[in-house]
Amino acid sequence: MSTTVVRAASTATLRPAPFARGYRFELLKLVSQWRVRLLVCVCWLAPGAFVGVVSRQSALPADTVFGRLMHSTGWAGALVVLAFACLWALPLLTALVAGDVFAVEDRLGTWRHLLVAVRSKRRIFASKALASATVIGLLVLGLAVSGLVGGLVSAGDRPLAGLDGYPLQGTALAGRFVLAWLCVLAPTAAFAAVGLLGSVALGRSPMGLVTPAVLAVLLAVVQLLPLPLAVRLALPSQAFTAWRGLFVEHVQVAPLVVGVVVALAWAGVATMVAYRLFLRRDFTDLAVDGSGARLVLAGLLPLALLGVVSVLVLGLTTTGTGSGVDAGRLEGSLATSYAHLYRLQAAELGRPAVTEEQLQTSAACDKGGSLVEDEGPGNDWRCVVTWHLPGARAVGSAVYQLDVAADGRYVADGDGPQEVNGFFLLQAAYGPAPNPLWQFDGLVDLLAPTRKD
Amino acid sequence: MGGTAAVRARGVVKSFGDVVALDHVDLDVEEGRVHGLVGPNGAGKSTLLGLLLGLTAADRGRLEVLGTLVGRATSVPAGIAGFVDEPGLYPSLTPRQNLAALASLRGSDPHDVGWALAQVGLDDVADDRVRGFSLGMRQRLGLASAMLTRPRLLVLDEPTNGLDPAARRQVHRVLGDLTDDGTAVVLTSHRMDDLAELCSEVTVLSAGRVVFAGPLEKLASETGDLDHQVRTTDVVTARAVAARTPGIRLLDERDRGSRPGGDLLVVRGPLPAMDELVVRLVRAGVGVRELGPVVPPLEAAFLALTADEASEPEAAA
């Protein structure tokens, strides 16, 4: 064995490795992990398979938004995947990717090697953050594409009745679908940044890995509590539900913008805190992985402060002290949905077409009887919808029981008359068909001006 | 020092909180030499290696590496490579991927990857995952990654740890080739035989302070009287002869861990007295089957220098 060494010509100070090369290395390390490879496979295959299987079953996931429409259109299945993803999948993905990207170097004892090779903590951080974002983006893209392909293959590219009953189709529907996924990237980025922070602050501890998942559980619990609207809007997971406001005739912009802005603020603050903690860490002693109560506090305090500031700002700029669910908003939403769905029912029954203006639909809602204030979520809302038919002097009316969630979504359950909304099937020209007025999902715009009758 | 200095440290101090890891450390390493850093655990060896690699900066003192004054962490000159504690390897990658990534980061020639793997004898497993590698294979791969950048200063923390004899010989040969070409090597090892084979000079650290610095021969000679074990054909006569030999002191075998009543005699004294003992034994008709130090001189010197970390340092350089 002979060794030939070509002497380095320069003793100039070693310059940091180019960012692009560091980024490629981080990407290589991530995709070489079996865990990430498995996630990629699952995200690109499982949603399509899930939608394909569920779309062929008689029992649909009606408790998930758009779930009851999975037989009607492939877009519903794609949106069910989005809803499921927002519930658990996206926080979990960020935990498994971003929550471990720094901690893995501690476990492998490779920090010194990396620092000697790259020569810049800043570039290491940026490379790791961007590589994590790339992998998470790949996983999110897989969820979106797989769910959509599975849905379209299973149930076809048919119009989707929005959450106000308005039929969405074609490029408009596709555009909103893409926009919905883009919007949920903001809270996904927030969870990823919290994962980075956990990974930096908690060192080799597995707690860093589960930080985004713990946050997701925490936020899910908080959302179950009867909290003021300002608090709900200040949660970084707000955009995980606010995307539903895209699937109505007139997009519910305000909750979506608030959700995206809050989530991006969380992403920015968490990333900056993680960056600062990482730069301050001393890598000389491998026995010290940088974790500790001080670091945890230094990581948590800025986020807690951001939460408080967000609540204060939103409380001052919105009607944030209430729940956002009141009779006026609910009546407006229900009347609009009913008008759109009535037209759909009329088309199924082969009746003459009518317009929403002709119907002049209105609703009157009451919560829990006269002793309870008509405000807030609950399953004790009862509404009476009235409408006019052109050429008819009589006014039609139908009764609904509403189960309203704190995030503004509600399920309207038809209570009669039977020929209008009391039975789940109707007799269409081509045979029995689902009755669109029997049960449907709706969405209250929590930030819409309250309608005063 | 006649050669060009690859490392010159003067009065380097590094503390971690209240713990002084390096206390006014001086270090001189010439190009084309292998310099050993020796000391008990916690002596400050890894910290010193970390300073050389630019992982951290000294609190006080002056450190020149390859002619460049090093002040700030991660701003050391080009031409330095190595590892501290363990080689930084990614188990989910193959050796080729590990080295190719490093070559890319450091701007090395990617064709050198195959060369470096061949140098350490890992070319036949270049495309296996590192996950299944033994400690010795990982050590060799770490050396390959350090060689990849064609360094002028190679910093290695226990490079022969976990190696079998053949692999150890191979590493020795690689390091020898590198130093022949002018590369300076600073390495730590707990194996005195490694140091004896590889190093021209050593620095002994104890509790962050230099307790010896200089040529290896000087370290061995500083040991003073060594304990020797003597195996003879007639232990009773040999014991009597040893008792009468000037400068020789008989030790109780039990004190040295030997089996009492055997054919082994343990004596202490300077080397000339040992020579005289052998002559007298032969004259007395006692056959000498074996004569050697109980503890090798280097190890004895190391133990003597670092036995009491609280004592004042005996800087010999």
Of the residues B221, B241, B260, the one at which a domain ends: B221
Closest CB to A109: pick one of B88, B121, B178.
B88
| Domains in chain B, number | 2
Same domain, B53 and B28: yes
Same domain, B197 and B63: yes
Assess if residue B309 is contained within a domain.
no
B262 and B170 in one domain? no
* Burial of A449 from C-beta contacts in 10 A (0-12 / 13-18 / 19+): exposed
| Cβ–Cβ gap B16/A285 under 8 Å | yes
- Nearest Cα of chain B lies from the Cα of A279 at a distance, in angstroms, of 12
pLDDT digits (tens, 9 = 90+) for B23-54: 999 999 999 999 999 888 888 998 899 889 88
Q: What does each C-alpha distance from A230 to A36, A187, A404, B4 come to in angstroms?
A: 37, 17, 18, 70
- Mark whether B78 and B10 lie in a shared domain: yes
Asked if the structure places residue B22 within a domain, the reply is: yes
CB contact under 8 A, B86 and A109: yes
- Boundary-marking domain end, from B202, B221, B240: B221
pLDDT at B1: 45
B301 inside domain: no
Per residue in B230-259, pLDDT (tens digit) is 999 988 899 999 999 998 888 865 555 455
**Residue A314 neighbours by CB distance under 10 Å:** 21
| Mean pLDDT comparison of A376-385, A416-425, B99-108, highest-scoring range | A376-385
Contact call for B79 and A116, based on CB within 8 A: no
- Beta-ladder partners of B156: B83, B187
Hey, which residues 28-57 in chain B have their CB within 8 Å of chain A?
Answer: 46-47, 50, 53-56
Q: Coil, helix or strand for A387?
A: strand
Has residue B138 been placed in a domain? yes
Considering only the beta carbons, identify the residue of A2, A11, A120 that sits closest to B68.
A11
Last residue of a domain, one of B158, B188, B221: B221
Cβ of B90 under 8 Å from any chain A Cβ?
Answer: yes
In a domain, B145, yes or no: yes
Q: Are residues B208 and B73 in the same domain?
A: yes
CB contacts, 8 Å: A118 with chain B: 105
- Domain hosting residue B60, numbered range: 5-221
- Residue B260 is part of a domain; what is its CATH number? 3.30.70
Q: What is the ipTM of this complex?
A: 0.72
- Which residue in the block uniquely carries the two structure tokens 């498995």? A38
Residue-wise pLDDT for A227-280, tens only, equals 888 999 999 999 999 999 999 999 999 999 999 999 999 999 999 999 998 988
Asked if residue B286 and residue B177 are part of one domain, the reply reads no
Q: Give A7 or A169, the one with higher predicted confidence.
A: A169
Please report whether residue B312 resides in a domain.
no
Q: Which residue has the tokens 């809007």?
A: A233
Q: Residue A65 corresponds to which tokens in the numbers above?
A: 């938004």
B310 falls within a domain: no
User: How far is residue B33 from each of residues A295, B7, B17, B215, measured CA to CA in Å?
Assistant: 43, 11, 34, 11
Residue A326: what are its φ and ψ, rounded to 5°?
-140, 175
CB contact under 8 A, B56 and A283: yes
> Nearest Cβ partner of A11 from B66, B101, B145?
B66
Regarding whether B130 and B103 lie in a shared domain, the answer is: yes
Based on the fold, state whether residues B37 and B176 are members of the same structural domain.
yes
Nearest-Cα distance to chain A for B174, in Å, is: 7
B78 at interface of A, judged by CB pairs closer than 8 A: yes
Same-domain pairing of B276 and B241: yes
Cα B116 to chain centroid, rounded: 23
Q: How confident is the model at residue A5 (pLDDT cuts 50, 70, 90)?
A: very low
A146 pLDDT band, cuts 50/70/90, is very high
Interface contact flag, B150 A116, Cβ < 8 Å: no
Q: Residue B311: inside a domain, yes or no?
A: no
A342 band by pLDDT with thresholds 50, 70 and 90:
very high
**Residue ranges in A156-252 assigned as alpha helix (H):** 170-201, 207-224, 229-233, 239-242
Chain A residues touching residue B149 (CB < 8 angstroms)? 8
3-state secondary structure chain B: CCCCEEEEEEEEEEEECCEEEEEEEEEEEECCCEEEEECCCCCCHHHHHHHHHCCCCCCEEEEEECCEECCCCCCCECCEEEECCCCCCCCCCCHHHHHHHHHHHHCCCCCHHHHHHHHCCCHHHCCCCHHHCCHHHHHHHHHHHHHCCCCCEEEEECCCCCCCHHHHHHHHHHHHHHHHCCCEEEEECCCHHHHHHHCCEEEEEECCEEEEEEEHHHHHHCCCCEEEEEEECCHHHHHHHHHHCCCCEEECHHHHCCCCCCCEEEEEECHHHHHHHHHHHHHCCCCEEEEEECCCHHHHHHHHHHCCCCCCCCCCC
- Whether residues B280 and B170 share a domain: the answer is no
The list of chain B residues with pLDDT below 50 reads: 1-2, 257, 310-317
Categorize the per-residue pLDDT at A205 as very low, low, confident or very high, splitting at 50, 70 and 90: confident
The DSSP-derived string for A243-269 is GGGGSSSS--HHHHHHHHHHHHHHHHH
Domain match, B118 and B265 both = no
Q: Is B234 within 8 Å of B273 (Cβ atoms)?
A: no
CATH number of the domain to which B31 belongs:
3.40.50.300
Q: What is the mean pLDDT of residues A189-208?
A: 85
For A69-78, the pLDDT digits (tens) are: 999 899 999 9
Q: Are residues B194 and B283 in the same domain?
A: no
